[in-house]
Amino acid sequence: MCGIFAVCNYQGDVDAYRQRALYLSRKIRHRGPDWSGCHVVKNNIMCHERLAIVGVDSGAQPLVSEDGNLVLCVNGEIYNHKHLRNQLKKPHHFKTSSDCEVIMHMYDEMGTDLVNHLDGMFSFVLLDVKRNRVVAARDPIGITTLYYGWNSKMPETVYFSSELKCLNEECDKILAFPPGHVYDSETQETTRWFNPTWWDGSKVPSNPVDYKLLRESLEKAVRKRLMAEVPYGVLLSGGLDSSLIAAIAAREAEKIAQGNGDNDDDNFDESGPKCWPGVHSFSVGLPGSPDLLAAREVAKYLKTIHHEYTFTIQEALDAVSDVIYHLETYDVTTIRASTPMYLLSRKIKAMGVKMVLSGEGSDEVFGGYLYFHQAPDAASFHSECVDRVKNLHTADCLRANKSTMAWGLEARVPFLDKEFLEVAMNIAPEEKRPNKAEGRMEKYIIRKAFDTSDDPSAKPYLPDNILWRQKEQFSDGVGYSWIDSLKAVSENKVSSEELAQAGSRWSKDTPDTKEAYMYRVMFEQWFPQPACTASVVRWIPRADWGCPSDPSGRAQKVHEQAYEEKK
């Protein structure tokens, strides 16, 4: 991934503003430490901070077409770029081997309809110089981040950026660019382009689970994401989701390294395992934490090159303010989970690794969070799954993107592959719902899809105790004392009187705990402008399902019940 900053239809002296634009773009250089680019044409400025993963030696941005008419800045990866090149109808001159350049040539042939053909995670801003037209788009689920903003003194100017911090000094209105949408300056409208069959959560699907299709769809999603020309690895917490991704990646890398990949299939770019054979895995936690122990077992089983890191409570507490700066949110559960990921990402980048696979999205797709046990019926369960997937860009996707990109590390998330979602989100919720009486724990069907116990000749993907391990939310699994320490620190930092007066200080998203109050103060220190809160969304558990207000998995009664039963 990379960093984008663009100013379109600037209503002042654009040449004089160039230095200011470079200063603002530099605020997200952590996203793209490999190169910086700036292109000014007419009254538009396009800036780019590059993290080079594909087309390393030739893919610097902004990309400019041969005739100078099209200028493109992209953040992300287009996994089917080879296929898209082969589908172009006209002859085009490709100046780079980057996976992103094809967007520019597709626009030349099909206009904004190009977004429907992209398979990947992406945000881009494209300038059509002749028409002075700007087109911007974001991937279906919002794995990549994108914001746009306006200044009331220059209402015709639109600012775009990968992060809020480029815009807060310039704009008095800032919004998160909605996932699965495209903006067209000619209409000044932002319209939805991503319309999958499962988008309406009120329509309850009835498809029975096809375990083979479910397994093969996830395997395909992982394989696409092995595209890289740089060292890569997998984030391995030892939980089900990251362990499955690691198991599939290890199998795929072995197949490709042995020459058993589908080399004739232009939907895949197998550069990763070819360039960097052997899968590296990375885990983080407090000493002796549940995740570290489980990850160690998985890595040993999969024979990955494993790297284990520990952190102290004080190191994590010292990082919280910086984490909020990079996250650009005050959501409690996002900050809790992001801090260990932020610390781990720095260690990974120090090793020279630039890309990792991660397990985000599975809990939303399959209703894996422990509070889903309290769903009153199948329709409610399904509706909640759809809502959580739709809002991933405000929580887990935001965490995975910004915690890693704070150090120039890219995270790819196979569970949010749009083809995989078409399969998984159309399964009847009765198949997904946990049912203690029937022995069906959370995420039963994805576990069962990778359970080879009925085939003695098949090599198991994972050990049974990992495949059937109970859910631990990442902020819990790194060590229970992490969240306990955050609560204790906030008790000392925030008085009961301050908390009681929180409503008069913040009418929007009023903190209801001292921990939430502490984060809101830190957020305001970095982002004091009122416009900065418009893009923040707090996740609050389902009180109408009888869930406690604390988002920790340990707060759910099913967590303790499961451990009591093991004693």
Q: Which residues make Cβ contacts (< 8 Å) with residue 141, sequence separation at least 6?
A: 179, 180, 361, 389, 392, 393, 397, 416, 418, 421
Per the structure block, which two tokens stand in for 317? 């507490």
- Give the 3-state DSSP-derived string for 81-119, with helices as H, strands as E and coil as C: HHHHHHHCCCCCCCCCCCCCCHHHHHHHHHHHHHHHHCC
CB atoms within 10 A of CB 485: 16
8 A C-beta contact, residue 413 and residue 365:
no
8 A C-beta contact, residue 530 and residue 551:
no
What DSSP state is assigned to residue 123? E
* Integer Cα distance of 255 and 234 in angstroms: 17
Was 284 annotated as part of a binding site? yes
* Integer Cα distance of 251 and 475 in angstroms: 28
* DSSP output for 507-559: SSS---SHHHHHHHHHHHHH--SGGGGTT-------GGGT--S---GGGSHHH
Instruction: State the catalytic residue, choosing from 2, 100, 171, 532.
Output: 2
Per the structure block, which two tokens stand in for 279? 């899968």
Query: For residue 435, is it left (φ>0), alpha (ψ between -120 and 50) or beta?
Result: beta
Was 126 annotated as part of a binding site? no
8 A C-beta contact, residue 144 and residue 401:
yes
Per the structure block, which two tokens stand in for 7? 């100013």
Active-site residue flag, 532: no
Query: Is residue 308 within a helix (H) or strand (E), and if so which, with residue range?
Result: strand 305-310
Tokens 């800036």: give the residue: 47
8 A C-beta contact, residue 484 and residue 380:
no
Was 36 annotated as part of a binding site? no
* Integer Cα distance of 236 and 461 in angstroms: 15
Q: Smallest Cα–Cα separation from 407: which of 358, 348, 319, 356?
A: 348
Was 317 annotated as part of a binding site? no
- What is the DSSP pairing of strand 355-357 with strand 410-412? parallel
Was 115 annotated as part of a binding site? no
Q: What are phi and psi of 154, to 5 degrees?
A: -135, 70
**Known binding-site positions for L-glutamine:** 99
Binding residues: 99, 235, 284, 358-359
Provide the annotated active-site residues.
2
